[in-house]
Structure 1
Amino acid sequence: MRMIVGFLRKALVLQVRFTLTASPTPQSLHFLPHHFYPFSSSSTSISTSERSESFTVSYLIDSCGLSHKDALSASKLLRFETPEKPDSVLAFFNSHGFSKSQTSKIVKSLPRLLASDPDKTLLPKLQFFYSKGASKPDVAKIVVSTPGILKRSLENQIIPSFNFLKDFLQSDEMAITVVKRFSRILLFDLHTYVASNMNALQEFGVPKSNIAGLLMYRPMAFMVNPNLFRKNLEEVKKMGFNPSQMKFVLAIQAMRAGGESCWERKIDIYKKWGWSEEEIRLAFTKSPWCMIYSEDKIMAKMDFFVNKMGRESSLIAHRPFLIGLSLEKRIIPRYSVVQVLLSKGLINKDISLVVLFESTEKTFLERFVNAYKEEAPQLIKLYQEKINL
């Protein structure tokens, strides 16, 4: 038995030696054990894959402006060994007015687009928006803000969603305005969200024109669970808002802006400035916008009125319109004029904030600038400089 095993081992060694020294043919390689031939087809495929990945990463960095990290991540979703196809996609975006940074954002979000046929998959969607009155810059902004539009069905998703908006607003122009403001609306099931919430508003007695206004200027307000939306309607009505007035939909908009957590944060900000819950409610009923402004803007205005001007915080609660005024374009320029007049003893330091900041431009100039041309001729120049800044 040992002799037989030894014989077989020698025979195998001789066969291997003979195979390695002979000219390799496809037939001989077929019978060669895999581990004796290091340059097998699987090893070659790994090498090709690595080269493909390396080329893809380099292309994404050099031609698309992606970071190395983003390029590595994107390369897991697509590979290409030559630049022809991705070049055609980049050239397509460039020809339609997309900037390099805009194209980079799209590629980062949807890297697989680089493997698409732009004339078949991308062009029809852009042409649809053009046909509805959107300009090239408009379309670029729409796509950059919601790249997912490029991978959704034009016939089954985009066109039906757009037509829903157009049918309600009775205008392509108004519908495209909604899309420019909140392009993600085209990706939603509008019958589940928007239609249900529109019906709820009508049931509460909100005029169609006011619903259209809310849809035009705050389309995101409709993108909420219908049950929660009805709850918000009931809360607003309990606060005393009249559904037939525009303030009612503004209050809904304010409640929906940023979600419940954002609403609570803004309430906390006003409380930090000393407002009671009753004062917050009062301010909201007078001007729902006071709960729509960003937290930074609220803080900046309150800080100016209370710390810079030394006014009582509760005074602002009774005049919440003041929070909506521009610091740069109105409050600071007008206050600069007042400081000069105060330094010269020309006006009383307790001048009404309403008179000072809520009056029209014409009224302000007549009352605080032109009226003191002789005593303070530098006022008009100072005022213009502050506005220009």
Structure 2
Amino acid sequence: MLRLQKCILTRLLSSPSTSPISPHHRLLSAAANSPAVSPSPSFAVEEYLVDTCGLTRAQALKASAKLSHLKSPSKPDAVLAFLAGLGLAPADIAAVVAKDPRFLCVGVERTLGPVVGGLTGLGMSRSEISRLVSLAGESFRCRSIVPKIRYYLSLFGSSENLLRALQRCCYLVRSDFNKVEPNVAFLQECGLGACDIAKLCICKPRILTSKHEHVQAMVACAEGVGAPRGSRMFRHALRAVEPLNKEKIAAKYEYLKTTFRWSDAEVKIALSKAPTLLTISKDTLQRKSEFLSSEVGLEPLYIAHRPVMLGLSLEGRLKPRYYVTKFLKENGLLDRGKDYYSILVISEKVFMDKFICRHKEAAPHLAEDYATTCRGEVPARFRFT
């Protein structure tokens, strides 16, 4: 069987890339011309899955139960040749077969060929199609996948965006459009444009396949945290509330009040500006609250009006930039009135230019100390009394 696989791959690899025949036809030809093997009542499916498909013994044992009707390797050989011709690596082919053993029984000329031809007609490259095979699994062996991909390409705007969404939710290509289309239409009614819907659903593709009532509840939750339809934060709020229910949102609301000593009004201000606070773990919020309140000395109202800082890394940005600016102020190299938040939100390049490189003569160890702090350590020069 190993010699057979090498023979198939050799034929594929020796096909001239400059041939006037289309790649689609070359795939069919390679599969059709794979070495014929006479049916044998003693065909050992489990051994074939291990030796030729690359499955582990445990995977092969489980998969063979779904292939007990196979009496010959001829059809699986054709499928393997076709997948190899698409560019799938042996490990990827093994993963496809392990996930969906019946993929080996699909007709190359009747199904796989037309599917690949249809996807090529939609503008997908061979490498993109090979990725789709791995992500779509059993859905790829249904010709109905082509119109679904056509719809999703229009929705997401590109093959790359679609594949990113499928990595998070492969169920998209198995979903019923009677669920998907009403959800898209509703999001449009809520004021989201095509670009916003694409960005939202690349990150949260399950929104498309959810029950319509769930999507309506998400919108209500987003509005409840201070992001009305049509607002700049509405899409971000939908992304934040997608995995939550009313009870979890209410619990996080109360935790924010307690942790940051915020009033109800201040919680609403913070969430309206940064609804992603709902997605930050309690432990992370607690540690940031202790640092910003106790060490930096920021007032609750100041933080509530600038909640973006709570989404920044404590070890990678909040602490290092605070210690650098405090060091500069302590040594008379920076105006004490410089606002902490304005220092936090500038880019790393600008920060390095303005607060590190500019003072390399007066503070030659500053860059080294800053790098040390970014690694989670506090150098002696940054330990203020």
Q: TM class by shorter-chain length?
A: 0.5 to 0.7
Partner in structure 1 of residue 344 of structure 2: 357
Aligned length: 327
Q: CA deviation at 1:189?
A: 2.0
Distance in 2, Cα, partners of 1:125 & 1:325? 45
Which amino acid letter does the alignment assign opposite residue 158 of structure 1?
Answer: I
Match of 1:76, SS state, is: helix
Partner in structure 2 of residue 77 of structure 1: 66
Q: 1:108 to 1:329 in 2, by over 3 A?
A: farther
Partner in structure 2 of residue 27 of structure 1: none
Q: 1:302 to 1:64 in 2, by over 3 A?
A: farther
- The equivalences for 1:1-389 within 5 A come to 52=43, 55-79=44-68, 80=70, 83-152=73-142, 154=143, 157-165=144-152, 169=155, 174-183=157-166, 184-190=171-177, 192-207=178-193, 210-211=196-197, 213-215=199-201, 218-256=204-242, 258-260=243-245, 267=252, 274-275=259-260, 278=264, 281-292=268-279, 295=281, 299=283, 303=287, 306=290, 310=295, 318-325=305-312, 334=321, 353-380=340-367
Q: Give a deviation string over 1:182-206, Cα, whole Å, max 9, x none.
A: 233232222x223222333344444
Partner in structure 2 of residue 41 of structure 1: none
Q: 1:345 to 1:58 in 2, by over 3 A?
A: farther
Q: CA deviation at 1:317?
A: 5.4
Native 8 Å contact 1:179 1:186 kept in 2: no
Q: Give a deviation string over 1:51-103, Cα, whole Å, max 9, x none.
A: 54xx3223323333333222111010004465444333233222222223222
Which amino acid letter does the alignment assign opposite residue 200 of structure 1?
Answer: F
Q: CA deviation at 1:329?
A: 6.8
Distance in 2, Cα, partners of 1:127 & 1:236? 42
Q: 1:233 to 1:268 in 2, by over 3 A?
A: closer
Match of 2:259, SS state, is: coil
Q: 1:109 to 1:136 in 2, by over 3 A?
A: same
Q: Give a deviation string over 1:165-220, Cα, whole Å, max 9, x none.
A: 456x5xxx815344212233232222x22322233334444455544553455443
Native 8 Å contact 2:165 2:203 kept in 1: no
The structure with more radius of gyration: 1
Q: CA deviation at 1:118?
A: 3.1
Q: TM-score, length-normalised on structure 2?
A: 0.66
Distance in 2, Cα, partners of 1:166 & 1:176? 6
Distance in 2, Cα, partners of 1:226 & 1:277? 34
Native 8 Å contact 1:333 1:383 kept in 2: yes
Sequence identity, in percent?
A: 25
Q: 1:111 to 1:365 in 2, by over 3 A?
A: same
Native 8 Å contact 1:356 1:364 kept in 2: yes
Native 8 Å contact 2:103 2:138 kept in 1: no
Once superposed, what is the RMSD of the aligned Cα atoms?
4.3
Distance in 1, Cα, partners of 2:83 & 2:373? 41
Q: Give a deviation string over 1:205-250, Cα, whole Å, max 9, x none.
A: 4455544553455443232211222232233334432322331122
Partner in structure 2 of residue 9 of structure 1: none
Match of 2:66, SS state, is: coil
Which amino acid letter does the alignment assign opposite residue 174 of structure 1?
Answer: G
Q: TM-score, length-normalised on structure 1?
A: 0.66
Distance in 2, Cα, partners of 1:219 & 1:304? 31
Native 8 Å contact 2:269 2:304 kept in 1: yes
Q: Which has the higher contact order (CA 8 A, sep 6+)?
A: 2
Which amino acid letter does the alignment assign opposite residue 187 of structure 1?
Answer: R
Q: 1:354 to 1:224 in 2, by over 3 A?
A: same
Match of 2:148, SS state, is: helix
Q: CA deviation at 1:252?
A: 1.6
